[in-house]
Chains A and B, each alone.
Chain A
Amino acid sequence: MPYAIRNIEITQPLPSIELDPSEQGIALIVRRSDRPLGFLMQPLPEGSILSSDAIAEWIGRKLGVKILQDSIRDELGVTLDVTTFPTLTVAICTKDRPVTLARCLDSLLKLQKADAEMETQFEILVVDNAPSDARTHDLVLSLPTVRYTREPKPGLNFARNRAVQATTTELLAFLDDDVVVDRYWLNGLTEAWIENPDAGAVTGQVMPYELATKAQILFEQRGGFRRGFNKIRYGQVMPHNRVYPCDTGSFGVGCNMSFRCTVLDKIGGFDEALDTGAPLPGGGDHDILYQVIRAGFPLAYEPGYLVFHQHRQSYAKLRHQYWTWGLSLMAFVVKAYRSDPPMRDRWLGLVRWWFANQLRLLAKSLVGRHSLPADLVLTEFWGGVIGLLGEYGRSQHRSEKIRRQY
């Protein structure tokens, strides 16, 4: 079942790859001088051997333009002044997952240590969200360069707001505890912020941490959390896009995003009725990125700002995730529709498009021309319906109750 995941550095001689007898496919993370340029995956018969020539052909066919684009960019030679990089805190909000958190911190600490010789330096902050024991606390205590803080109110956006309060640096980057940062992560983050000093937020690339189960492979085949390998600068307009900036899904993913703290303050932080944990575990990233744009700030997407995310392993959890995506997207849409009258036409356009698109996916899936099983599409669709029908109000109610408890 599993797919092998390999890093390929094209400036080095290409290897040949032999799959284990258990592996049924391969994914390549292709880099040029360490910078991620592409992600390729395909199923292969068990025990296949990919020669270096076959790998060269595959990469050339799929990524030839990207490789050339990167070398043109080098030749155009715009140098960036690294000394202008603002101070940075990296916050990880976590709840009762010390093993996963340790893996994430481990990858991050390598960059923090490597940094000692370089110009930039960053702080690491763990926000322990309504913990049921002291394991997270103990873990962080054993790491001298990691700060610990606790947010008793359960809910991701409560924890994110705690991080905002506890931060004194100019930039604040968020990571989910189930990611591992890439060795290029900080370079990508730094570059994006230097290239876009006026930005309110920068979002990054998300690739799979593992492709071990059917659910993980399925999700990644459908595009996963990847957002492409071009740098994108989102501004106040996007010519030829009638629903912009309401197509918030394209802006980025909450497990790897960063903000200028003054902008977060101006917006008023994260909406605590979204990303609340179990009842409505999503929408917070859509909302905050939308608010950044609507507050008049550019938003940049940076493909080199890369993390690896551990996708849901079981099919049941993946299906639940599709449900929550539909639910939380539409809960957020209702909020945005109510609170942002100038954009209402566009929000209606987005809702129409989204539901029509789900139905189209469903039809395609039913006739077998789409790799996503129909039950997942239906689940997301149904989540969307429930999301539209008062979920945001219910969630506001719940978070108000939590606030009163603490």
Chain B
Amino acid sequence: MNLTPCKVLTLDLSEGIPELQPDPNYEQIRITFWWHGIALGQIDLSSQQLPLSAAQLSNLAAQEIAPAVGDRLFEKGFRANLPLLPPHACEAPEDFDKLVNLQAPLQTLHQAWAPLSQSSLSVVICTRDRPEKLAVCLRSLQSSTQPPDEIIVVDNAPSSDATQQVVTQMPGIQYVREPRPGLDIARNTGIAHSTCELIAYTDDDVAVHPDWSARIRQSFRDSSVMAVTGLVLAAELETEAQQIFERDWSFNRGYRVLTYDQAYFERLKPSGVPAWCVGAGANMAFRRSVFEQVGTFDERLDVGAAGCSGDSEFWYRIMAEGYTCQYEPIAVVSHYHRRDMVSLSQQLFYYMRGHVAALLIQFERYKHWGNIGRLGIAMPKYYLKRTVLQILKRNQPPAKLLLTEIIGCFAGIKFYLQNRQRKPEN
């Protein structure tokens, strides 16, 4: 396992292809390939594989991005596999002549995504005591190519007024204080203060792509889609903690669209629907109407320093009620993973606690036994396997992290039992 710092490089192929030189400060490099702001693929190289000439790099790029380009230009033939399903049979693209006669696929793709959508968009950022990071996030939003109609910062049980000061210095941003601690409480407060058709969430530790707001609006073209999640890239991979997080917990679900519809839900219901695969709270959006139809975020979840279960429980509910969630990697944010191992460990504890609590809440709400199956069979099996590998020392993250995760799981059961009385009204 190579956990030396990795350079993160963004390469927009429409701006010309450079010769790639090694950077003496890094042993590895991750390149994401873009075309006019559309992310299409990535590749990890060792510095020893550099330099690469423009011709060599463009061969690699063409190979890497072809599936994502095909996925955006054709209905069939380039679909990605959905998580936990067996690989689907290979299909032919629907129109062979179109495929063969396509002269400039990248230009075609760029044009297909040029028309803007005029749907109104609120962006909600829930934050607690991280004013400097929040400022970075807000500035990225303000330099959007098609800025949101409103930006709401929900200041969640702050210990000082530093956040308020940052927000009031920046024009056009609404500040709301939510004294009750809890990420999902804050998210619901955001809904109550927003007025637009679409509500997008991002976190205070991300920077959004300039086109993010525009792409979120475009991603709701299909009227059956109630929730959209986007691509979350690592903004930097400088430390061991960031590398472990990106390798084992990455939010990156690939560069092709994934549609989680009712059929998917029904197929995986018996064994447990992996709602957590749908996306990440740092880059998600909803139609306002879905909150009327399936309720708001469950306020029992995500109480703590990190959360990733209030969102997945909500996607679970959307699918269970027969609506569609869509992963649309055209909407991109960059996430600053936690830099030190202590923060990572704490994050994973809360992740697992929240995950287990969410499984129990999903079961409580729908009596879908797949959730219990995951909790009682799949997860113990998974952790047993990892424990064995840990003992054999095969490229594992530190044992302490594994232990923290397992403790987090038990904490989740305890947490659910203590809080189950506080059912939401809706």
- Given the known inter-chain contacts A60-B77, A73-B58, A76-B61, please indicate yes or no for A68 contacting B66, CB distance below 8 A: yes
Q: Which of B48, B53, B105 contacts A68 (CB 8 A)?
A: B105
B5 near A: Cβ within 8 Å? no
Q: Which of B48, B56, B61, B93 contacts A60 (CB 8 A)?
A: B93
- Given the known inter-chain contacts A78-B17, A78-B55, please indicate yes or no for A64 contacting B105, CB distance below 8 A: no
- Given the known inter-chain contacts A61-B90, A64-B77, A65-B67, please indicate yes or no for A76 contacting B62, CB distance below 8 A: yes
Q: Which residues does chain B contribute within 8 Å of A60, judged by CB atoms?
A: 77, 92-93, 96, 99
Interchain CA distance A80-B59 in the complex, whole Å: 12
Q: Which of A70-88 contact B (CB under 8 A)?
A: 70-73, 75-76, 78, 80
Interchain CA distance A369-B252 in the complex, whole Å: 36
How many Å from the CB of A31 to the closest CB on chain B? 12
Contact A56 B70 (CB under 8 A): no
Q: Which of B13, B49, B67, B99 contacts A76 (CB 8 A)?
A: B13
**What's the tally of chain B residues with a CB closer than 8 Å to chain A?**
40
Chain A 314-348 interface mask (CB, 8 Å, partner B; 1/0): 00000000000000000000000000000000000
Interchain CA distance A190-B92 in the complex, whole Å: 33
Contact A65 B92 (CB under 8 A): no
- Given the known inter-chain contacts A62-B90, A64-B70, please indicate yes or no for A73 contacting B59, CB distance below 8 A: yes
Q: Which of A67, A69, A72, A80 contacts B100 (CB 8 A)?
A: A67
Q: Which residues does chain A contribute within 8 Å of B54, judged by CB atoms?
A: 78
B327 near A: Cβ within 8 Å? no
- Given the known inter-chain contacts A75-B105, A76-B61, A195-B56, please indicate yes or no for A68 contacting B92, CB distance below 8 A: no
B165 near A: Cβ within 8 Å? no
Q: Which of A58, A71, A230, A236 has the most CB of B within 10 A?
A: A71
B244 near A: Cβ within 8 Å? no
How many Å from the CB of A13 to the closest CB on chain B? 10
Task: Return the chain A residue nearest B94 by Cβ.
Answer: A60
Contact A64 B48 (CB under 8 A): no
Q: Which residues does chain B contribute within 8 Å of A10, judged by CB atoms?
A: 100
Q: Which of A72, A194, A236 contacts B62 (CB 8 A)?
A: A72
**What's the tally of chain A residues with a CB closer than 8 Å to chain B?**
34
Contact B63 A64 (CB under 8 A): no
Contact A56 B48 (CB under 8 A): no
Interchain CA distance A195-B92 in the complex, whole Å: 32
Interchain CA distance A73-B54 in the complex, whole Å: 12
B103 near A: Cβ within 8 Å? yes
Contact A75 B99 (CB under 8 A): no
Interchain CA distance A80-B55 in the complex, whole Å: 8
Q: Which of A62, A64, A80, A231 contacts B78 (CB 8 A)?
A: A64
Interchain CA distance A228-B343 in the complex, whole Å: 45
Would you call the interface of chain B mostly helix, strand, loop, or mixed? helix
Contact B62 A11 (CB under 8 A): no
Interchain CA distance A59-B91 in the complex, whole Å: 10
Q: Which of A68, A233, A236 contacts B56 (CB 8 A)?
A: A233
A400 near B: Cβ within 8 Å? no
Q: Which residues does chain B contribute within 8 Å of A56, judged by CB atoms?
A: 92, 96
Q: Which residues does chain B contribute within 8 Å of A239, judged by CB atoms?
A: 2, 44-46
Task: Return the chain B residue nearest A195 by Cβ.
Answer: B55
How many Å from the CB of B308 to the closest CB on chain A? 28
Interchain CA distance A71-B91 in the complex, whole Å: 20
Q: Which of B63-82 contact A (CB under 8 A)?
A: 63, 65-67, 69-70, 73-74, 77-78
How many Å from the CB of B352 to the closest CB on chain A? 28
Interchain CA distance A179-B66 in the complex, whole Å: 33
Interchain CA distance A233-B69 in the complex, whole Å: 24
B319 near A: Cβ within 8 Å? no
B104 near A: Cβ within 8 Å? yes
Q: Which residues does chain B contribute within 8 Å of A80, judged by CB atoms?
A: 55
Q: Which residues does chain A contribute within 8 Å of B58, judged by CB atoms?
A: 73, 76, 78
Contact B92 A57 (CB under 8 A): yes
Chain A 130-152 interface mask (CB, 8 Å, partner B; 1/0): 00000000000000000000000
Task: Return the chain A residue nearest B97 by Cβ.
Answer: A56
Interchain CA distance A69-B105 in the complex, whole Å: 9
Q: Which residues does chain B contribute within 8 Å of A67, judged by CB atoms?
A: 99-100
Contact A69 B17 (CB under 8 A): no
Q: Which residues does chain B contribute within 8 Å of A195, judged by CB atoms?
A: 53, 55-56, 59
Contact B102 A71 (CB under 8 A): yes
Contact B107 A75 (CB under 8 A): yes
Q: Which residues does chain A contribute within 8 Å of B62, judged by CB atoms?
A: 69-70, 72-73, 76
Contact A61 B91 (CB under 8 A): yes
Q: Which residues does chain B contribute within 8 Å of A233, judged by CB atoms?
A: 49, 52, 56
Q: Which of B209-251 contact A (CB under 8 A)?
A: none
A237 near B: Cβ within 8 Å? yes
Contact A76 B17 (CB under 8 A): yes
6 examples of A-B residue contacts, CB within 8 angstroms:
A60-B93, A75-B106, A76-B13, A76-B62, A231-B59, A231-B63
Given contacts A60-B77, A62-B90, A65-B66, 16 further A-B contacts (CB under 8 A): A10-B100, A56-B92, A60-B92, A68-B66, A71-B102, A72-B61, A72-B62, A76-B17, A76-B61, A78-B54, A194-B55, A195-B59, A231-B63, A233-B49, A236-B48, A237-B49
The 5 lowest CB-CB distance pairs between A and B, nearest first, are A60-B92, A69-B66, A56-B96, A61-B92, A73-B62
